[in-house]
Copies of this chain bind each other. A is one copy, B any other.
């Protein structure tokens, strides 16, 4: 009885004592490698033991923790906002990119290039306080639905990855998001969706300014990017914001290559994981030729670097939490 009370006091759950920590993973090599790694680094008697303070795990978001097709959900948010503002006031649509976005013409929008996409992001994200922006995102998540699945965007989370995040935290890891997505956008839902608090969400940042708005000190989102958290930017952001090299990194595209490379180049036990989207029936299938989440180098070099390539069709028993 005292033992049981102590377990409750210490927050030990049945999961951490005995049950399967990854029930939505099939019993394949992928699951075994993850569990072996976590078991080794948390076993004080193992040569691979890692003290709790160094159990840092980093995860990309789009395509790694939640879906990203047909385009990044944050871009869909931007397009929806531009369309709504354009409907309220057509004078808001001052460029080809904004008019294409408002018309829902993805082909025309893509033709405006990166400059056009940044126009859409600026027009939908900038010129308001961080608080107002995040309230807008939450309102949008409440009403918007994914064109293919009809699900809420924040229900298109990968159940096996939710279990992995929780398993790692149960075993003393700190779990960070390190994503190309906007830091304020992700924080609007990350705590509810992933149990990851704002201070553990690292992302791309737009410019901000500190202003006294009608007497109220306010952090305001401004146009333009101050940091793109992608490719080489990921290890740089991890160094700058966490200050420790992770021992576990998960991603799904070549934008995560440097993060996995830097993580797994450290001394001692390391695990790099790539989610390979192979399941058109349950989710989406894409890799080398995709316009989103392009994965070439990770597939070519990952296995010889010892990275774990997770094959969704083969390794995941379920994809969505709602299954």
Contacts and interface: CB of A to CB of B under 8 A. Distances in A.
A208 B240 contact: yes
Interface of A: 2, 6, 9-10, 53, 130, 174, 183-184, 187, 197-199, 201, 205, 208-210, 216-217, 219, 232, 235-236, 239-244, 258, 261-262, 265
B183 A208 contact: no
Which 4 pairs between the two chains have the least Cβ-Cβ distance? Answer: A198-B243, A210-B232, A219-B239, A217-B265
Contacts of A240: 183, 205, 208
Q: Which label, helix, strand, loop or mixed, suits the secondary structure of the A interface?
A: helix
A210 B198 CA distance: 25
A262 B217 contact: yes
Contacts of A6: 9
B197 A53 contact: yes
A60 to B, nearest CB: 16
A242 B199 contact: yes
Contact of A219 (B2, B53, B187, B235): B235
Contacts of A258: 210, 217
B232 A209 contact: yes
Most chain B CB within a 10 A radius of its CB, from A210, A219, A235, A265: A210
Nearest to A241: B241
A235 B213 CA distance: 14
Contact of A236 (B199, B208, B236, B242): B208
